[in-house]
Amino acid sequence: VSALRETSRRLRALGLTRATLLVDERRARANIRRFRDRADAAGVLLRPHFKTHQSAAVGAWFRDEGIDRATVSSLGQAAYFAEHGWRDLTLAVGANPLEAAEYDALAADVRLGLLTDSEAAVTALAAALTRPVRLWLDVDVGDGRTGVPWQDTVRLGALIRCAAASPALEIAGLLTHAGHAYGASGPAAAAAVFRESLHRLRACREALAGTVPGPLALSAGDTPGFSAVRDWSGLDEARPGNFVFYDLMQLEAGACTPDDLACAVAAPVIGVYPDAGRVVLHAGAVHLSREVLAGPAGPCFGRLLSLDDGGFGGILPGWSLASLSQEHGVLEGRDATAREGLADLEPGDLLLLAPVHSCLTCEQFQSYRGLDGAVLERYRRP
Ligand code: PLP
């Protein structure tokens, strides 16, 4: 029996009828444990970014590993996890003065961390906050998205003085996201970004010594760098997020192996075109997002995974999701074996797609399913 048929049979046995995001819990838990062990070995606090899964059910797997703090990227996510018992959360996007009153309300229940690189935002927070909040200073170590450039310690010093004047703001430390690790050409280059970022954060902290009464903690987090480097020592806090599920982007960057891919979209076959070597799935941009990899044979929006007895299997070679429209995904068989397997398929079958970027694919779904059929609830944006 072909791997395609067997995968379809197993997906149908789960009772799935439409595009559904499946999570392989065993793999996700292994990914969590690996990073928890690295953090423990280095004496670093793991504060995983929950923007990838945004699910209280998945959060509970972190809790099982002793992790009771997290990072989020919106006030809505923060409120959702607070409702599910998370009491220590950092909102790691630049603080928005328009939300200051809501931060203050949240801080009644949560040990809340906020992030900024702006004196205007600090002033607005200072005016609105009545409860203690931890403030992280956003430092740009080379990504060029947000943050005060790491060399600009004059500006960082001014920010610290401004925040120190507010009784509600406790200065937590220097926080960075080295997003440029995503542009690295493999694990060695991602490791170099990690080391350079740490070096820059430490240099920055040294230059600022004496401007704050307490120590400045150092917080960083990105999946390519933290996957490439085993020893995280030197940091105080680690905030990677994508590692819980990984994805094809991380696989291509050498950050994970196919066995680490822990979420995938089960997608119904709605058209089979053997002469063209093509299968069309009811899984388009609204299910997968439009994230794409540039492959040697053209763009790739997803790859096929097999579903084995114990969970997700390997990537089925010879297949690539070559184009996407709103609802349709066009799967191309690129070798003779793939094209032969295609003859076994018909509408009513289901196939399993590994996404290019799991964070954005998860965002397309209102809940996920475990391989045991369990529904995994997640945050829903209003
Ligand atoms: N921290 C911040 C501020 C981020 O923006 C992100 C991701 O965008 C992360 C941590 C987690 O990084 P990753 O998605 O590479 O795991």
239 CA closest ligand 1 atom index = 10
State the distance from the centre of ligand 1 to the C-alpha of 329, rounded, in angstroms. Answer: 28
Query: What is the C-alpha to C-alpha distance for residues 138 and 33, in angstroms, rounded to an integer?
Result: 28
Three-class DSSP labels, 237-248: EECCCHHHCCCH
Q: What average pLDDT score do residues 212-240 get? A: 96
What residue owns the CA closest to ligand 1's atom 15?
Answer: 222
Residues with CB under 6 A from ligand 1: 49, 71, 92, 177, 221-223, 239-242
pLDDT over 90, % of the chain:
95
Closest CA to 377 of 113, 12, 54: 54
> Each residue of 159-177: pLDDT tens digit?
999 999 999 999 999 999 9
115 CA closest ligand 1 atom index = 3
Q: What average pLDDT score do residues 214-229 get? A: 96
State the distance from the centre of ligand 1 to the C-alpha of 49, rounded, in angstroms. Answer: 6
Query: What is the C-alpha to C-alpha distance for residues 79 and 109, in angstroms, rounded to an integer?
Result: 10
Beta-bridge mates of residue 91: 72
State the distance from the centre of ligand 1 to the C-alpha of 16, rounded, in angstroms. Answer: 32
Q: Tell me which of 38, 45, 51 to substitute to probe ligand 1's pocket, judged by most ligand atoms within 8 Å of the beta carbon.
A: 51
Beta-bridge mates of residue 332: 278, 320
**Six-digit token pair at 6?**
């067997």
**Which one is predicted more confidently, 343 or 332?**
332
Predicted local distance difference test score (pLDDT) of residue 1: 64
Whether residue 327 is predicted with pLDDT greater than 70 in this model: the reply is yes
> Each residue of 347-358: pLDDT tens digit?
999 999 999 999
Q: What average pLDDT score do residues 215-234 get? A: 98
242 CA closest ligand 1 atom index = 16
Asked if 226 and 240 count as a contact pair (C-beta separation under 8 A), the reply is yes
Q: State residue 156 phi and psi, 5-degree precision.
A: -65, -40
Closest CA to 86 of 69, 74, 103: 69
What residue owns the CA closest to ligand 1's atom 4?
Answer: 177
> Each residue of 121-155: pLDDT tens digit?
999 999 999 999 999 999 999 999 999 999 999 99
Query: What is the C-alpha to C-alpha distance for residues 358 and 262, in angstroms, rounded to an integer?
Result: 9
Cα 46 to chain centroid, rounded = 14
Whether residue 296 is predicted with pLDDT greater than 90 in this model: the reply is no
Average pLDDT along the chain: 97
State the distance from the centre of ligand 1 to the C-alpha of 90, rounded, in angstroms. Answer: 12
What residue owns the CA closest to ligand 1's atom 7?
Answer: 222
Residue 225, H or E segment? helix 223-228
**Which one is predicted more confidently, 293 or 2?**
293
221 CA closest ligand 1 atom index = 10
Q: Tell me which of 31, 62, 90, 177 to substitute to probe ligand 1's pocket, judged by most ligand atoms within 8 Å of the beta carbon.
A: 177
Neighbours of 241 (CB within 10 A): 25
Closest CA to 281 of 91, 18, 30: 18
Q: What average pLDDT score do residues 39-50 get? A: 98
**Six-digit token pair at 124?**
């607005």
> Each residue of 19-34: pLDDT tens digit?
999 999 999 999 999 9
Query: What is the C-alpha to C-alpha distance for residues 281 and 308, in angstroms, rounded to an integer?
Result: 21
Q: What average pLDDT score do residues 349-369 get? A: 98
Q: What average pLDDT score do residues 351-380 get? A: 98
Predicted local distance difference test score (pLDDT) of residue 64: 98
